[in-house]
A and B are shown apart, each in its own frame.
Chain A
Amino acid sequence: MITRRALLALLGSAAIPAALRANSDTALDSAFLRERVDSGELPELAKRLPQNPRVINLQSMGRTLGHHGGDLTILIGRAKDIRYIPINSYSRLIGYNEQLEMVPDILESYTVEEGRIFTFHLRPGHRWSDGSAFTSSDFQYFWDEVALNREIARGGPPVSLLVNGEVAKFEALDEVTVRYSWTQPNPVFLSKLAAPIPLTLMLPAAYMRQFHANHQSSDTLATYIEHYRVDDWVGLHRKLSRQNRPENPDLPTLEAWRPTTAPPAEQFVFERNPYFHRVDENGKQLPYIDKVVMNVSSSEIIAAKTATGDSDLQGVGLALPDYTLIKEAENRFPIKVSLWRRTQGSSVALFPNLNCRDDVWRSLFQDVRVRRALSLAINREEINQVLYYGLANESADTVLPESPLYKAEYAAAWSSYDRDQANDLLDQAGLSQRNSSKIRLLPDGRPANITIESAGDSTLETDVLELITDYFRDVGIALFIRSSQRDIFRSRILGGSVQMSVFRGLDNGLPSADMPPTQMAPSSSDQLQWPLWGLHYMSGKKQGKASDMPHVQELSRLLDQWMMSTHTEQRADIWARMLTIYSDQVFSIGTVNGGLQPLARSARLNNIPDTGLYGFAPTSYLGVYLPDTFWFDKEG
């Protein structure tokens, strides 16, 4: 709560020139921390901020200046979803702004020379959330004691720090300057730092040293190992240093809110980071909101609870069918709901597993005629009208029209509804025989039954599948839906026991030429259409298998070329070629994209845009819209 006196001081502060304002810390600091400052536990605001904090100019962004206070309640479906905090808080060395341009955030500035020498300048006086100094020694610690430590990084430094097998050269030039350099260009480096789950370059050394074998006696480590129930000190170090999963409340952070609850719990409370490095143009420290409270509830009732005003900010767990319910609840509860656009390449996409263990299906799916036929068999217009109110784009799984790389031909490739052509293609692919129930027969005599694996957390997905089941039956393919849990889902696909899976399409539907085209070629074992080939790339050719399809090899070659590129035109050209191949070869079967995502918020919450792009990449969900600038109207 803000007292009357604080409010007066706050009103006054707007009138005081900036130079004088530094003295009136009480107005610029949150009342939430007052007690701890008064008792001497925390230093004054001026001593907590970096010398040169990042000033967010709200008025130039068309937003309003807010005031401190309030608890933001968010519902999550499972305890693991506290991962959304570091994604949404989006404190990165370098991050995207609302226009998806790269700007330094934690860094004061950075320079790139020849696309291969990256020099980062930290903010002097920047501190971790526990008050310890954030300096180049934290980068040094990560580099020497983690990345190059043969016990922690058994396979050598993380692949993302390699360029063609070459390890980066790291230098700590002085206390606030670090440099990473390679002999060849590394165009992905910066975008990896700006990712929703960023590349780790630094760890809070002061805290982490006590769990490192080089800095701690083995006796003390043994007691820690027992206390945290891990196998060895490597496990201990890994468990306690996870920045993407804020499960360790003691781990200092640079995010806007720091965790205070260790799992297991039903409610997770995040408190404002007293040392956060962003301020508004008046010098008021961000975030405005003091506490984020995440309540774990069943994902099935998130929509219902949101509609009764139990959440202050909810996108996760809501889908388009829930919009009507929440919109009508606006009359009864102090909530507002707006529609954002999803950034995925396709709201629901089918992924034929080109690495599935079933020999017959594998060779069929590797046959482009089958993939094209399945894509042509889908009536996208009906899906759009029935399930998306006709508001989505009927499209193959490719980039959105909002992307600078978009061309209409990508979206139109094999995405019209043409049952005759689909039947012809399937006949040509050797599936011309049919059984009594008009299902095609595979070359080995089995009926063409496809079991499609679903991670099963969206009713919209189930509905789309129900329609697709009918479309596929019309061309003689029987589709069976099997839902499994997310973790099992991925491992079953990697294991090859899944013929086809259904998930969201391309993660980043809004790429620019400077964003790496990793999603267009095998690059990760999470890719549902070629998990083994992706694993091969990800593990540095140690695990998985190399692809044996010419078009996929071509995509991999293009990805490699992009990784070596130095300027934007070249990258745009590579993107265009990859998009052409990808959509022409139908490596994933899209339905509609640009689908709408309801975003519900408390009516008292300000500074949230009415429309925006909602998705994991590149916007980090709400990350680029700076949730630390959201603020609550005072109650009553």
Chain B
Amino acid sequence: MKSPLPKPGEALEHYVSDAPYDPNSIENNQSDEGPLAQASQLKLMWWYFRQHRLALASAIFLVLVYLSILFSEFLAPYNLHTRNTEFIYAPPASVHIFRDGSLVRPYTYGQTMTLDMTTLRRNYTDNVNDIQPLRFFCRGDTYQFWSLFESDMHLVCPAEGGQLFLLGTDRLGRDVLSRTIYGARISLTIGILGVLLSFVLGVVIGGIAGYRGGIFDMVVQRMTEVLQSIPSIPLWMALATIIPLTWSPLLVYVGITVILSLLDWTGLARAVRSKLLSLREEDYVVAAQLLGANSTRVIKRHLIPGFMSHLIASATLTVPGMILGETALSFLGIGLRPPITSWGILLTEARSINIIALYPWLLFPVIPVILVILAFNFLGDGLRDAADPYK
């Protein structure tokens, strides 16, 4: 009986067909079946994503917010540390656009402060005769723009000699709106930078674990389990106290980012590993290996594109965690330190009972925190749905 296999050691019988072969034949044949069949993966993802209205709106919102942090100095009516000691705990000013029944340039009323000596409360009353029209694209506090040049241009300023505290002022008479705008710069970038860092860590560590397997995989798995089982806040606190007090605020900022991402890569590493474990058994990977592709090429060309979209989606979902982490740390007084101002720092200053009862506008930074976190969650949701358009 003749065995279908050659004897051990002999070359496998094979031949190469001379018949003409067009690797794109299927795609070409479908060329007239409409755009869906022709569209690239990215395009398909975009179409899917577009259907998710909330995600789309969130994406636009986030892009705007992130663009704003490039121009904080210009958008904020005041500088971060400008104190107006005559206007301490001033409530939010209301902007009027009608006067005597006709539409006019937006204006606010000047305010006069009286100190109520029985309650020691500063009362502000609108002075209806003192009309302070807002100025736009105007000169105000000077600042170094991007450390490049000095400028004093602001989007909106109070009238000459007037005040404009759209969200009130804090205990040192600093404008809450301006501080929130500046705070966005720190809070938002810490999220993105932290996620980028933990993304790199996660992909590299998880990638090696998933592709190589064996001892390394086991070590990484146990390590992630240990890291994930430690309650995160105490661990952050322990790491955050290591940061020397005399570090410049910028270094502290980098330090906090590193701490947040050092503890956050585990989830991503797991996702990468499990994806890799399943993908590396796929036929097309075996084919590539048989055709002699080395590990680097297999990972980069065949595996990563297969799960990148998933990764981006899950990374998006971890940004809110980072932002909340920073907020929590700063709130506890162990994260960033003044004079760096983040939303967490602003909220720390607003945690006493006095503030909640008497000066509630100081809690305003909660709103951007909530909005940004929600937006990131919707965006991540939409991305995840769109990530696998072929399903």
A interface residue numbers (CB < 8 A to B) = 300-301, 303-304, 307, 320-325, 327-328, 382, 385-387, 389, 449, 451, 459, 463, 466-467, 469-470, 480-483
Judge whether B121 and A300 touch: CB under 8 Å.
no
Whether the Cβ atoms of B172 and A324 lie closer than 8 Å is no
Q: Would B353 and A386 count as touching, CB distance under 8 A?
A: no
11 A-B contact pairs sorted by A residue (CB < 8 Å): A303-B352, A303-B354, A307-B357, A321-B171, A322-B354, A324-B120, A327-B120, A386-B173, A459-B352, A469-B338, A469-B339
Q: Told that A303-B352, A322-B353, A328-B121 touch, could you supply 17 new A-B pairs with CB distance under 8 A?
A: A304-B353, A321-B352, A322-B354, A324-B121, A324-B358, A325-B353, A325-B357, A325-B358, A327-B119, A386-B172, A386-B173, A387-B171, A449-B246, A463-B171, A467-B172, A469-B338, A469-B339
Please state if B353 and A451 are interface contacts (CB–CB under 8 Å). Answer: no
Beta-carbon nearest neighbor of B171 in chain A: A463
Cβ-neighbour of A300 out of B120, B172, B246, B352 (below 8 A): B352
Tell yes or no: B129 within 8 A of A by CB. Answer: no
Shortest Cβ distance from residue A212 to the other chain B in the assembled complex, whole angstroms: 46
* Residues 222-260 of chain B, each 1 if its beta carbon lies under 8 Å from chain A, else 0: 000000000000000000000001100000000000000
Bound-complex Cα distance A598 to B105 (A)? 46
Chain A: which residue is nearest B89 at the CB level? A324
The chain B residues found within 8 Å of chain A, CB to CB, are: 81, 85, 88, 115, 118-121, 171-173, 245-246, 333, 337-339, 352-354, 357-358
Q: Is the CB of A451 within 8 A of B120?
A: no
**What distance in Å separates the Cβ of B256 from its nearest Cβ neighbour in chain A?**
16
Q: Which residues of A contact B121 (CB under 8 A)?
A: 324, 327-328
* Pair B85/A451 contact, Cβ less than 8 Å: no
Residues of B within 8 A of A449 (CB): 246
A389 touches B357 (CB 8 A): no
B354 touches A480 (CB 8 A): no
Question: In the bound complex, how far is the Cα of B337 from the Cα of A387, in angstroms?
Answer: 21
Tally of contacts, chain A with chain B, CB under 8 A = 61
Question: Contacts of A482 on B, CB cut-off 8 Å?
Answer: 245
Answer whether A386 and B85 are a contact pair too, CB < 8 Å, given A463-B172, A480-B246, A482-B245. yes
- Chain B, Cβ-Cβ closest to A459: B352
A79 to B352, CA, bound (A): 22
A480 and B245 alpha carbons, distance in the complex (Å)? 7
Nearest-neighbour CB distance to chain A for B359, whole angstroms, equals 10
Give min CB distance, B164 to chain A, whole Å.
Answer: 20
Bound complex: CA A385 to CA B115 (Å):
11
Whether the Cβ atoms of A324 and B353 lie closer than 8 Å is no
User: Which chain B residue shows the least CB distance to A598?
Assistant: B120
A307 to B356, CA, bound (A): 13
Instruction: Please name all residues of chain B whose beta carbon is closer than 8 Å to the beta carbon of A480 when the two chains form the complex.
Output: 245-246, 337
Give the docked Cα–Cα distance between A470 and B82 (Å): 11
- Known contacts A301-B353, A303-B352, A307-B353: A389-B120 contact under CB 8 Å: yes
Chain A contacts of B245 at CB under 8 A?
451, 480, 482
Residues of A near B85 (CB, < 8 A) are 382, 385-386
In the complex, A135 Cα to B121 Cα: how many Å?
Answer: 54
Residues of A near B118 (CB, < 8 A) are 327
Residues A321 and B354 in contact in the complex (CB < 8 Å), given A328-B119, A451-B245: yes
> Closest CB of chain B to A41's CB: distance in Å?
45
Chain A residue with the shortest CB-CB distance to B357: A325
**B81 → A minimal CB distance (Å):** 7
Q: For residue A481, which residue of chain B has the nearest CB?
A: B337
A-B residue pairs, 4 tightest by C-beta? A304-B353, A327-B119, A324-B121, A449-B246
Given contacts A386-B172, A463-B171, contact A325 B354 (CB under 8 A): yes
- Residues in chain B near residue A327, CB distance under 8 A: 118-121
Which chain A positions have C-beta within 8 A of B358?
A: 324-325, 328
Which residue of chain B has its CB nearest to the CB of A303?
Answer: B353
Residues of chain B lying within 8 A (CB to CB) of residue A451: 245-246
> Does the CB pair B173–A470 fall under 8 Å?
no
Residues of A within 8 A of B352 (CB): 300, 303, 321, 459
Cα-based distance from A323 to B358 in the complex (angstroms): 11
Most B C-beta atoms less than 10 A away, residue of A324, A385, A467: A324
Contacts of B333 in A (CB 8 A): 483
In the complex, A389→B115 CA distance in Å? 8
Q: Closest B residue to A387 by CB, please name it.
A: B171
